[in-house]
Amino acid sequence: MTATLPDDVLTALRRADTITVLTGAGMSAQSGIPTFRDAQTGLWSRFDPADLASHAAFVRDPDLVWGWYRRRAALAARAEPNSGHVALARWQQHAADRGGRLTIATQNVDDLHERAGAVVAAHVHGSLTAVRCSICDTPYHGPLDVTGDLDGTGDDTEDEIRMPPPPCADCGSPVRPDIVWFGEALPEDAWRAAETAAEEADVVLVIGTSGVVYPFAGLPALARSAGALVIEIDPAETAVSDMAHHHLRAGAADALPALLDSVLDHGEVR
């Protein structure tokens, strides 16, 4: 795939002092991590995330919710950053080397950006790699186990998925994944960082987000109203496509290396 943005847009990307990248589940889809709302196979076909991603579900069946998230965390840990993650990490370093800034804010709860070498300013929906107490919010740093196999076939029963969450070292209450569940507020620091990055950017790249989960879905409009050039990278039209000035209809792993190659005048990315 070759970048198909107009020359003046590529020039704007080259000259931008501040670039903000907003990523969603599509960013990691080509690494084999399922998107939240698509029809799924394996683990996701047997357990509906919409039924498990809530405080009420955790109170009702903590062993099932905890075990399901531990399985997700283990599967995500086996995934590898794709070429899109790597391109963003290299782009971030290139921006820093020339005195600029590329800021990443993501809805994703995996750590593939970081494992590709990037710094993420905001995980607005939390992280699978973080655990905290369900009552006192104290971070948990003890051992974390996974039950069953990780072949992804989806043959596991609820009993095979279930595992009791460890107790908090401070108050003894069960710990939980540090994920934003349905009905919960976003972490203030992460949201403030994402909002500021959108407001201050010269260019905003919106990559692999469906644009239906607010308030994150409002960031492209916020950036555009603040004067940013907004570029969407996604194989299909989304709910935020009308907020973008330009579109690249391709997956992140295909579009980003080619786009970075074009921005860097070819030859710096392999």
Specify the DSSP class assigned to residue 169. Answer: T
Residue 19: strand pairing partners: 102, 203
76 close to 33: Cβ distance less than 8 angstroms: yes
Q: Which of 123, 125, 141, 266 is catalytic?
A: 125
Q: Is-contact 265 16, C-beta < 8 A? A: no
The DSSP code for 242 is: G
C-beta separation of 204 from 244 below 8 A: no
Spatial separation of the C-alpha atoms in residues 149 and 244, rounded to whole Å: 43
Q: In angstroms, what is the C-alpha Rg of the chain?
A: 19
Q: Where are the beta strands (DSSP E) in 174-215?
A: 175-179, 203-207
125 is catalytic: yes
Alpha-carbon gap, residue 106 to 21, rounded angstroms? 8
Place of tokens 């076909």: 45
- The tokens describing 248, both together, are 């690249």
Tokens of 84: 């899109």
Please give the full DSSP string across 141-168, using - where no structure is assigned: -S-----S-----S---HHHH--PPPBP
As annotated, the active-site residues are 125
